[in-house]
Amino acid sequence: MGKLRLIKLTNISSFVPEFEFIQFLLFSSPSLVTMSIVEHPELEPVEALRITKRLLQLRLSSAVSIDFSSDSTT
């Protein structure tokens, strides 16, 4: 995964295994520049906020941009 630069994950909900997978990708991809996360269409706003807060708590390289949205066209 050393050359992985862009990741797009879709239909993400608030399941723990999904978040653990996101964490794994972030910490295992030193060349990562952008991670786009598109939430599941039926995800409650409270859960979307909880995911966003957890992502912000991770200590990441300043070179990584995480885009979290509800729009699958991004």
Give the tens place of pLDDT for each residue, 3-37: 899 999 999 988 889 989 999 998 888 899 999 99
> Residue 70 has what pLDDT?
84
Residues 55-70, mean pLDDT to the nearest whole number: 81
The more confident residue out of 58 and 8 is: 8
Residues 45-73, mean pLDDT to the nearest whole number: 82
Is 74 among the domain residues?
no
- Distance, in Å, from the CA atom of 44 to the CA atom of 7, rounded to the nearest integer, reads 23
Is 59 among the domain residues?
yes
Is 43 among the domain residues?
yes
Domain enclosing residue 13, as ranges: 6-69
Is 61 among the domain residues?
yes
Average per-residue pLDDT in the chain?
87
> Residue 59 has what pLDDT?
65
- Distance, in Å, from the CA atom of 64 to the CA atom of 30, rounded to the nearest integer, reads 9
Provide the number of structural domains found in the chain: 1
Q: How many CB atoms lie within 10 A of CB 48?
A: 19
Is 53 among the domain residues?
yes
Query: Token match 């066209």: residue?
Result: 73
